[in-house]
């Protein structure tokens, strides 16, 4: 990722120097191994801190909505699709954005490596041969990035940016044998009770910190339904029906709009794969309406419109 | 100092024996490589391989959700709209393997729930039911900075017993009478060798040396509150923040809660639920006005409370025990050690 980082710095410095933009949204090195937090670079010195690693899991499109003025953003394929949605939903204006597309080679969560290594990690080095070398507590392990990358990245068919003003690297080739929905099909094949158990277990560790919602660029309601007080739709405690209501309703609110960027899962302190909900809805949107989120801002998302010819099999 | 020795071969049987007058709570692993403190089932041992549980043991005395009262809104009932305190179980319980930084946090949280003017009966009754059997940290995590925060890997503050793992045995430093009582209940009564105190002292020094992460906050106390409040750095510190509640929920010293009435079919209960200063709802007024309506204000509040206001109010250091949980759990790597450095500089 070193070559990406050099190019990213170079682009950001140029855009700030020639005043194309006031600020560049990217990532910088964090304080922990494999932490790459979002960063807003406003000066050339700031831009020198920008980096690109295999741990840029956060979707930067989430930061655009609070911003006024001209902004540049480094965007992976999924981030670009979220930007397309934001433009379509009137949250940002295309003319305020300078999008630097970053063809994506997949992201790896720190949590995944920490679990595998199961020891204190002093250092994680990404090698050019697609491996991640992890050192800590006097031992080292080598992981194949292809094995440890996020599930959403493994099944991603939109790795290249769909909307951009310039690119930070050459476009990547997307394998043509990706089984996009195998994880969904495995759950679909379960019986009703087993399926319910699957989802119950899935959210059993949820602490309702709402990191998934807050990391999600699609979740931008001024007041989320769980925070409504009059009427109050859902209890605020830690009981399973309330937790389940939150996750299921959130998923449905993102149906047809979620880009499977995986920021929700990557942000979860309890390691919950809430994509199990959203990926199913993504598959349904594709199967029923031939709809994929974030590819165009000119057509309303699947669940926002009704056409007389729409299939009705989903009404039960 | 009274030190007893517990051979590991006697450990499990002792734990079970102590169940006759104590329930047992300890660290356990959960799904997705997470961990927490919960009641141990019969025969289940606390998992001492976990140094810092994902969730702190604060929930032992301050559950995420707790029923304060129950009530009926049925006008036909003579008890209509009368708040009734539920009969909670406050029988003795031993918290096995709580780490010194988490025990230190209990002392901090106590300042909020048990004051000369107010006593939160739910927190205090649960707290008083606990015997804290601590486990010294011999292999600190890299984000542990507890030596900077009036705690440390072998600190006995807030503990009734401190266990030190010496390989085949635990050395048990009995700190309080409550601790002695649990030790008797478990049948642990073997006096340690005469050099036990020295062994603990040596191991403590070794553990403290392994903690290389430090924070300094002496200047923060000297600085004017408004000067810190108006610093420019809050913008860059708060930029990545998602305003989720992770840092506050994993924190052993965050004590804020919300009160909610849940009513259905004329039956109701008043709940005490964890709340977070990171949430916009935390400060919103009934008028709709929100005095902390930006991310920057909320992030600043959290760090000012931890590192400035707490010291200003109580003059007992910062409201942080250096466990490092917020550092490792924050989805965008906002690091309290770095914030502290900026505030202190």
The residues, any chain, with a CB within 8 Å of residue B214's CB and separated by 6 or more, are B145, B147, B148
Q: Are residues A34 and A133 in the same domain?
A: no
Q: Are residues A142 and A229 in the same domain?
A: no
A201 domain residue, yes or no: yes
pLDDT band of residue A67 (cuts 50, 70, 90) is confident
A316 domain residue, yes or no: no
Please determine, for residue B300, whether its predicted confidence score (pLDDT) is greater than 80: yes
A310 domain residue, yes or no: no
A216 domain residue, yes or no: yes
Q: Are residues A246 and A132 in the same domain?
A: no
- As a whole number, mean pLDDT of residues B182-189 equals 97
A261 domain residue, yes or no: yes
Domain end residue (candidates: A90, A118, A149): A149
Q: Are B7 and B169 in contact (CB under 8 A)?
A: yes
Q: How far is A134 from chain B (nearest CA, A)?
A: 15
Question: Per-residue pLDDT tens for A148-179?
Answer: 999 999 999 999 999 999 999 999 999 999 99
Out of B246, B262, B335, the one facing A269 most closely (by C-beta) is B246
Question: Per-residue pLDDT tens for A235-277?
Answer: 999 999 999 999 999 999 999 999 999 999 999 999 999 999 9
Q: Are residues A28 and A74 in the same domain?
A: yes
Q: What integer pLDDT is reported at residue A302 of this predicted model? A: 85
The answer to whether the CB atoms of A114 and B295 lie below 8 A apart is no
Select from A62, A122, A212, A214 the residue whose CB has the most chain B CBs within 10 Å, as the one to mutate to test that interface: A214
- As a whole number, mean pLDDT of residues B45-66 equals 97
The answer to whether the CB atoms of B32 and A270 lie below 8 A apart is yes
Number of domains in chain A: 2
Question: Per-residue pLDDT tens for B113-133?
Answer: 999 999 999 999 999 999 999
CB < 8 Å from B in window 125-164 of A = none
Please determine, for residue A64, whether its predicted confidence score (pLDDT) is greater than 90: yes
Average pLDDT across chain B, whole number: 96
Please determine, for residue A102, whether its predicted confidence score (pLDDT) is greater than 70: yes
Average pLDDT across chain A, whole number: 94
The end-to-end CA distance of chain A, in Å, is 48
Question: Per-residue pLDDT tens for A216-241?
Answer: 999 999 999 999 888 888 999 999 99
Instruction: Report the predicted TM-score, pTM, of the whole model to 2 decimal places.
Output: 0.96
Q: How far is B187 from chain A (nearest CA, A)?
A: 34
* DSSP, res A6: H
- As a whole number, mean pLDDT of residues B20-43 equals 96
pLDDT band of residue B170 (cuts 50, 70, 90) is very high
- As a whole number, mean pLDDT of residues B157-172 equals 97
Q: Are B55 and B34 in contact (CB under 8 A)?
A: yes
Question: Per-residue pLDDT tens for B320-338?
Answer: 999 999 999 999 999 999 9
A315 domain residue, yes or no: no
Classify each residue of A121-157 as buried b or exposed e, where b means 16 or more C-beta atoms within 10 Å of its C-beta: beebebeeeebbebbbeeeebebebeebbbbbbbbbe
Domain end residue (candidates: A149, A179, A198): A149
The answer to whether the CB atoms of B249 and A266 lie below 8 A apart is no
Q: Are A203 and B31 in contact (CB under 8 A)?
A: no
Task: Determine contact: A270 vs chain B, CB below 8 A.
Answer: yes
Q: How far is B183 from chain A (nearest CA, A)?
A: 32
As a whole number of angstroms, the distance between CA A207 and CA B42 comes to: 26
Question: Per-residue pLDDT tens for B210-261?
Answer: 999 999 999 999 999 999 999 999 999 999 999 999 999 999 999 999 999 9
Q: Are residues A138 and A166 in the same domain?
A: no
By residue range, what is the domain housing residue A123? 110-149
Q: Are residues A116 and A182 in the same domain?
A: no
Q: Are residues A144 and A154 in the same domain?
A: no
Token match 């929930």: residue? B59
Q: What integer pLDDT is reported at residue B236 of this predicted model? A: 96
The residues, any chain, with a CB within 8 Å of residue B279's CB and separated by 6 or more, are A210, A227, B243, B245, B298
Q: How far is B314 from chain A (nearest CA, A)?
A: 29
Q: Are residues A35 and A171 in the same domain?
A: yes
Q: What integer pLDDT is reported at residue A128 of this predicted model? A: 79
The answer to whether the CB atoms of B242 and A211 lie below 8 A apart is yes
- pLDDT > 70: percent of chain A: 99
Q: Are residues A154 and A271 in the same domain?
A: yes
SS3 A32: coil
Contacts of B54 in chain A (CB under 8 A): 269-270
Contacts of B271 in chain A (CB under 8 A): 235-237
pLDDT band of residue A316 (cuts 50, 70, 90) is low
Q: What integer pLDDT is reported at residue B158 of this predicted model? A: 97
Q: Are residues A34 and A126 in the same domain?
A: no
Q: Are residues A118 and A192 in the same domain?
A: no
Contacts of B31 in chain A (CB under 8 A): 201, 204-205, 270-271
Q: What integer pLDDT is reported at residue A221 of this predicted model? A: 93
> How many A/B residue pairs have CB atoms within 8 Å?
115
Please determine, for residue A74, whether its predicted confidence score (pLDDT) is greater than 80: yes
Q: How far is A140 from chain B (nearest CA, A)?
A: 17
pLDDT band of residue A184 (cuts 50, 70, 90) is very high
A311 domain residue, yes or no: no
Q: Are residues A84 and A38 in the same domain?
A: yes
C-alpha B5 chain-centroid distance: 27
What DSSP line would sit under B285-339, residue for residue?
-TTS--TT-SHHHHHHHHHHIIIIIHHHHH-S--S-----HHHHH-TT---HHHH
Domain end residue (candidates: A120, A149, A178): A149
Q: What integer pLDDT is reported at residue A314 of this predicted model? A: 65
Out of A114, A205, A209, the one facing B244 most closely (by C-beta) is A209
Q: What integer pLDDT is reported at residue B74 of this predicted model? A: 96
Please determine, for residue A100, whether its predicted confidence score (pLDDT) is greater than 80: yes
């Amino acid at each position: 990722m070193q070559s990406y980082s050099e190019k990213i710095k170079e682009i950001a410095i140029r855009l700030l120097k020639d005043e194309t933009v006031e600020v560049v949204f990217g990532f910088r090195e964090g304080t922990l191994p494999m932490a790459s937090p979002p960063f807003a670079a406003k000066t050339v010195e700031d831009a020198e801190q920008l980096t690109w690693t295999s741990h840029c899991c956060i979707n930067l499109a989430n930061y655009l909505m609070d911003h006024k003025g001209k902004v540049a953003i480094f965007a992976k394929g999924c981030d670009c699709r979220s930007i397309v949605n934001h433009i379509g939903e009137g949250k940002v204006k295309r003319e305020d954005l300078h999008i630097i597309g970053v063809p994506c080679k997949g992201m790896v969560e720190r949590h995944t490596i920490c679990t595998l290594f199961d020891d204190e990690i002093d250092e994680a080095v990404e090698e050019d041969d697609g491996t991640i070398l992890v050192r800590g507590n006097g031992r080292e392990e080598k992981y194949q990035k292809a094995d440890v990358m996020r599930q959403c990245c493994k099944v991603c068919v939109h790795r290249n940016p769909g909307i951009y003003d310039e690119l930070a690297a050459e476009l990547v080739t997307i394998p043509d044998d990706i089984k996009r929905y195998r994880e969904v099909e495995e759950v679909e094949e379960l019986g009703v009770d087993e399926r319910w158990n699957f989802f119950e277990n899935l959210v059993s560790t949820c602490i309702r910190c709402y990191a998934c919602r807050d990391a999600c660029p699609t979740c931008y309601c001024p007041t989320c339904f769980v925070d409504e007080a009059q009427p109050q739709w859902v209890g605020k405690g830690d009981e399973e029906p309330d937790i389940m209501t939150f996750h299921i309703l959130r998923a449905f609110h993102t149906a047809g709009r979620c880009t499977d960027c995986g920021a929700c899962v990557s942000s979860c302190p309890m390691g919950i794969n809430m994509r199990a909900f959203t990926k199913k809805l993504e598959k349904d949107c594709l199967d029923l309406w031939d709809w994929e989120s974030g590819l165009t801002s000119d057509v309303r998302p699947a669940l926002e419109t009704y056409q007389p010819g729409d299939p009705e099999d989903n009404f039960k | 100092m009274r030190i007893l020795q517990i051979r590991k071969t006697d450990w499990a049987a002792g734990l079970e024996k102590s169940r006759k007058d104590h329930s047992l709570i300890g660290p356990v692993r959960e799904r997705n490589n997470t961990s927490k403190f919960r009641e141990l089932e019969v025969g289940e041992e606390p998992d001492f391989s976990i140094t810092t549980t994902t969730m702190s043991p604060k929930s032992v005395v301050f559950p995420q959700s707790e029923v304060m009262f129950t009530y009926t809104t049925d006008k036909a009932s003579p008890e209509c709209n009368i708040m009734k305190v539920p009969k909670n179980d406050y029988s003795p319980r031993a918290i096995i393997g709580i780490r010194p930084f988490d025990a230190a946090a209990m002392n901090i949280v106590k300042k909020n729930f048990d004051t000369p003017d107010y006593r939160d009966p739910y927190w205090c009754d649960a707290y008083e039911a606990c015997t804290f059997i601590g486990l010294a940290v011999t292999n600190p995590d890299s984000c542990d900075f507890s030596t900077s925060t009036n705690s440390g890997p072998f600190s006995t503050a807030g503990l009734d017993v401190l266990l030190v793992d010496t390989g085949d045995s635990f050395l048990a430093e009995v700190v309080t009478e409550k601790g002695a009582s649990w030790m008797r209940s478990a049948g642990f009564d073997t006096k340690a060798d005469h050099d036990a105190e020295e062994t603990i002292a040596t191991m403590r020094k070794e553990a403290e040396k392994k903690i290389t992460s430090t924070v300094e906050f002496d200047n923060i106390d000297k600085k004017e509150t408004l000067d810190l409040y108006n610093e420019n750095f809050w913008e860059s510190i708060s930029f990545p923040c998602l305003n989720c509640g992770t840092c506050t929920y994993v924190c052993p010293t965050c004590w804020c809660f919300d009160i909610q009435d849940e009513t259905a079919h004329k039956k109701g209960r008043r709940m005490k639920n964890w709340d977070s200063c990171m949430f916009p709802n935390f400060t919103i007024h009934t008028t709709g006005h929100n005095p902390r309506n930006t991310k920057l204000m909320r992030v600043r509040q959290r760090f000012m409370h931890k590192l400035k206001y707490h010291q200003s109010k109580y003059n007992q250091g910062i409201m942080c025990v250096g466990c490092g949980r917020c550092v490792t759990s924050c989805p965008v790597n906002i690091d309290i050690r770095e914030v502290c450095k900026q505030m202190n500089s």
